[in-house]
Amino acid sequence: MEDLFAHSYPGTSAKTLFADVILPVPIPKWFTYKVEREFQDRIGIGYRVMVRFGNTKILTGIVARVHQKAPEAYLAKPLLDVLDDFPVVNALQIKFWNWMASYYCCHIGEVMHAALPSGLKLSTESRVQVHPDFDPEAPGFPMDERELLVLETLAKHDEMKVEQFEQLLPGKISHKIIKSLLTKGAVLLYESVREKYSPKTEQRIRLAQQYLAEKGLLQELFAQLKGKQKQEEVLLKYLQVLPVFQKPEQNTGGIVKSVLIDHGCSPSSIDTLVKKGILEAFKVTISRFDELETGQDQVELSPLQQQTLEEIQRQFQEKQTLLLQGITGSGKTEIYIQLIKEVLESGSQVLLLLPEIALTTHLVFRLKKVFGSKMGVFHSKYSDNERVEVWQGVLSGRFNFIIGVRSSLFLPFDSLGLVIVDEEHEPSYKQFDPAPRFQARDAAIMLAWMHQAKTLLGSATPAFESFYNAQTGKYGYVSLEKRYGNAELPYFHLADILADKKKNLLKLDFTRILREKIQEALNKQEQVLIFQNRRGYAPYLSCEECGWIPECEHCDVSLTYHQYQEELRCHYCGFKEKLPKACPACGSHKITTVGVGTERIEENLSLLFPEARIARMDLDTTRSKYGYQRILEDFGAGNVDILVGTQMITKGLDFDKVSLVGVVDADRILYFPDFRSGERAFQQITQVAGRAGRREKTGDVVIQTRRPDQLIFRQIMAGDYRGFYQQELRERKQFFYPPFVKNIKITTKHKDVKTAEQAALHLKNLLASIEAKKILLGPEKSLIGKIKNLYLFELWIKLEKSVSVQEQFKVQLMEAIRTLQGDRKFRPVRFLIDVDPF
């Protein structure tokens, strides 16, 4: 009987509901909470809920499942609250999170943490208040001075955050005092929750209704205001901007207050009129993004582009994923636009992933012109509020096309039709830290698959894995390269650093040929790009007498010299130190800089070419939200002759006047202790070289190296990606590197060297017994052996390329780590797992 009743009124079901909640904690579990009656008919998958976790913490979680099965092993706690009227996360996303957690060996809570903009995560603060029943006069417990101090301070405010007491009393003592006051019943401790997201509002002004109804009143009013010139002015201005008597309905929306002020009205007079009840002030919620009309920008495809587009469409019929190889400036953008248009017209959503630094370029403006306000941009420099608005925009359907960085994979899409990953070879698609350490390109393919959508990977110099997958037929492949000749390839010059040095021709790190080419370009008023992949002034300092090098106290790295602040800094833990006047080892004053950073190159250039206008673009000069854009605009406008920069200059520059590109130190890219260094050198040098010469002009590229005889340079110069690929592939096969094996890197972290190493060694032994074709390497001290006083050891696993083997292996790997952590000796050791590491 009861059940029948429950069926007809689901909200009053007699059965208790339970919710499995994902919480942002690294525990490989879902947590089951009881759903109280009041929440039963407004809960479901993807709702945010507030729960008590442990004794004190209050957390925001996401509901992953609602069911009726009470947990057997424990008593479920009740949900404290359901935060939304509609789900903010959909079931597909939860599926995606689960995949990511299992593929990248992390906890779903960590994925959730990365996925939700923090504006959607509630923060709780512990607050303290004087207990309402507390009587300070009552003879009760004796209070000591510190307790009285806290009570006194508290009495002045009606409530305080726990952290505020830390200023009053040093750190941890305040905790104790509050605790003792709590047991004495003098104070009340509670968690207060606040929504972090706040909508943007705008102050508006309108005419009070009564004046609108009766015209006579207004005339009277003007008579009254005679002599009050400023106020009269405001009113006149208002009527001028908004002719409310012709169109009374327009008064409701009023005018933006700042617009009136911009028209020369005095803010105080406006306020006075509002106080008198003549004008009304009100607030409206507005979007943080400009509403743009969908542009009418027409895209014309060239015959080659049209042909390529058709080929892409043809291959998409058979393949889910497709690699489009096309050199920069070959017209990929127009093809993207056409594809996106078609998918949007069919009613599906589109996601275009870009590496972070490519996101502020003309490409975005171009797309904005075409797709207008239906396109959302998701930036890493966006504020939290802006991110929440993009999230909500996808949820509400306001945006059906998103262009964004790797984390835009997590936006709440419900019907993706196409995902494009541009510059798919870019290393910035891989997240290093913290978990989930995912590769956005690969995750995008999985996400697309879950949506039954297509993925298009675009690059001029594809990642080896992608090209391999295309070669083996796993992906489709379309090329957008000119077939005959390489008319667009610039003239390459290899400059031998050592040879010039011997002949005394190397001046301030510049070879003769590069100096001459720069001078030539300057004479012709053409622009120059100088590429140096190291920011700062100099990597490190060294004593000329004894060779002493300043090192960080907490990390196993040398300190970087920052000229501007005259200090030495650790890039790993933030440790700072004033520049020593004398060498602490031998007392010598001859401390010199070793190595070259962008700052130093900039300085050298200004010495070599005093008449040139030089700018620098690296992490340090582009930190602000629009810093990058400003430098690019300046360069584009021709206000700069020479632009020095890191990898950033390989992106987004598309200027006709660049006739010369210089690579200061190619060896730095080439000799990186990493199996991908060759690949990366090929990609980076090709990319930056591609900036030289456009359209009708052929540019020059000068590559400075100590080893000009290397094969890779000839391949770069010939634009021979395939040749390079073939040769490199043979090496990868021979030495068991991806794409022939699956790499997993495990890093152990502990304050004691021995323990860190032993943990890795024990893990290796446990893994050795797992049945799978594999190679185990290490443990070896990490490249940077110590960070923040924790020692790091690495274990590399090369696993056979079989999905089922990998899945099993990962499960057993997690088990092995759990076993190890059962050993008290290894309990405090942290194990970081990196699947497909770089």
Partner DNA sequence: AGCACGCCGACT
Partner DNA sequence: GTCGGCGTGCTC
Q: Which residues bind DNA (CB under 7 A)?
A: 25-27, 29, 31-34, 51-57, 71, 73-74, 76-77, 172-173, 176, 824, 827-828, 830
DSSP one-letter code for 121: S
Please identify, using beta-carbon distances, which residue of 146 and 657 lies nearer to DNA.
Answer: 146
Please identify, using beta-carbon distances, which residue of 24 and 645 lies nearer to DNA.
Answer: 24
Q: Minimum distance between the CB of residue 430 and DNA, rounded to whole angstroms? A: 21
Q: Minimum distance between the CB of residue 431 and DNA, rounded to whole angstroms? A: 17
Residues 323/477, Cβ–Cβ less than 8 Å: yes
Please identify, using beta-carbon distances, which residue of 11 and 828 lies nearer to DNA.
Answer: 828
Q: What angle do CA 454, 459, 462 make, to 5 degrees?
A: 100
Among candidates 155, 139, 142, which has minimal Cα distance to 187? 155
Please identify, using beta-carbon distances, which residue of 176 and 730 lies nearer to DNA.
Answer: 176
Q: Minimum distance between the CB of residue 599 and DNA, rounded to whole angstroms? A: 35
Please identify, using beta-carbon distances, which residue of 192 and 486 lies nearer to DNA.
Answer: 192
Q: In angstroms, how far apart are the furthest CA atoms of the chain?
A: 101
Please identify, using beta-carbon distances, which residue of 695 and 827 lies nearer to DNA.
Answer: 827
Q: Could you please report the per-residue DSSP string of 596-633?
A: --HHHHHHHHHHH-TTS-EEEESTTTS-STTHHHHHHH
Please identify, using beta-carbon distances, which residue of 76 and 446 lies nearer to DNA.
Answer: 76
Please identify, using beta-carbon distances, which residue of 42 and 176 lies nearer to DNA.
Answer: 176
Reported as type and span, the H/E element at residue 751 is none
573 carries a ligand binding annotation: yes
Q: Minimum distance between the CB of residue 60 and DNA, rounded to whole angstroms? A: 13
N-to-C CA span, the chain: 62
Whether residue 436 has a cis bond before it, omega within 30° of 0: yes
Q: Which residues pair with 59 in a beta bridge?
A: 51
Q: Minimum distance between the CB of residue 84 and DNA, rounded to whole angstroms? A: 20
3-state SS record for 179-231: HHHHHCCCEEEEEEEECCCCCEEEEEEEECHHHHHCHHHHHHHHHHCCCCHHH
Q: Minimum distance between the CB of residue 262 and DNA, rounded to whole angstroms? A: 46
Cα separations in angstroms, 217 against 52, 474, 648: 59, 78, 64
Distance separating alpha carbons of residues 197 and 288, to the nearest angstrom:
12
Count helices and strands in the chain by DSSP H and E runs: 27, 33
Look up residue 684 and give its amino acid.
Answer: Q
Please identify, using beta-carbon distances, which residue of 234 and 760 lies nearer to DNA.
Answer: 760
Please identify, using beta-carbon distances, which residue of 189 and 256 lies nearer to DNA.
Answer: 189
Q: Is 447 exposed, middle or buried (0-12, 13-18, 19+ CB in 10 A)?
A: buried
Distance separating alpha carbons of residues 615 and 635, to the nearest angstrom:
8
Please identify, using beta-carbon distances, which residue of 73 and 768 lies nearer to DNA.
Answer: 73
Q: Minimum distance between the CB of residue 471 and DNA, rounded to whole angstroms? A: 41
Q: Minimum distance between the CB of residue 32 and DNA, rounded to whole angstroms? A: 4
Please identify, using beta-carbon distances, which residue of 24 and 678 lies nearer to DNA.
Answer: 24
- Can you tell me which residue has the tokens 């993004």? 289
CB neighbours of 157 closer than 8 A, spacing ≥ 6?
Answer: none
106 carries a ligand binding annotation: no
Q: Minimum distance between the CB of residue 19 and DNA, rounded to whole angstroms? A: 9
CB neighbours of 792 closer than 8 A, spacing ≥ 6?
Answer: 747, 748, 749, 756, 781, 782, 784, 785, 786
Distance separating alpha carbons of residues 150 and 165, to the nearest angstrom:
8
Residue 363 in tokens: 């490409």
Number of CB atoms found within 10 A of residue 632's CB:
24
105 carries a ligand binding annotation: no
Q: Minimum distance between the CB of residue 173 and DNA, rounded to whole angstroms? A: 5
Among candidates 76, 98, 78, which has minimal Cα distance to 89? 98
Sign of CA dihedral 591, 597, 602, 604: positive
Q: Minimum distance between the CB of residue 67 and DNA, rounded to whole angstroms? A: 13
Q: Minimum distance between the CB of residue 778 and DNA, rounded to whole angstroms? A: 22
Q: Which parts of 40-119 fold into alpha helices (H)?
A: 91-103, 108-115
Decide the pairing of beta strands 476-479 and 321-325: parallel
Residue 679 in tokens: 């690949």
Please identify, using beta-carbon distances, which residue of 15 and 57 lies nearer to DNA.
Answer: 57
546 carries a ligand binding annotation: yes
Q: Minimum distance between the CB of residue 828 and DNA, rounded to whole angstroms? A: 6
Whether residue 267 has a cis bond before it, omega within 30° of 0: no
48-53: strand order across its sheet: 31-35, 17-22, 57-67, 48-53, 81-82
Distance separating alpha carbons of residues 562 and 539, to the nearest angstrom:
9
Residues 693/658, Cβ–Cβ less than 8 Å: yes
Q: Minimum distance between the CB of residue 825 and DNA, rounded to whole angstroms? A: 8
Q: Residue 454: what are its φ and ψ, rounded to 5°? A: -100, 155
Residues 401/344, Cβ–Cβ less than 8 Å: yes
555 carries a ligand binding annotation: yes
Please identify, using beta-carbon distances, which residue of 14 and 173 lies nearer to DNA.
Answer: 173
552 carries a ligand binding annotation: yes
Q: Minimum distance between the CB of residue 311 and DNA, rounded to whole angstroms? A: 48
Please identify, using beta-carbon distances, which residue of 112 and 631 lies nearer to DNA.
Answer: 112
Cα separations in angstroms, 718 against 282, 712, 753: 66, 10, 48
Binding-site positions for Zn(2+) read 543, 546, 552, 555, 570, 573, 583, 586
Binding-site positions read 543, 546, 552, 555, 570, 573, 583, 586
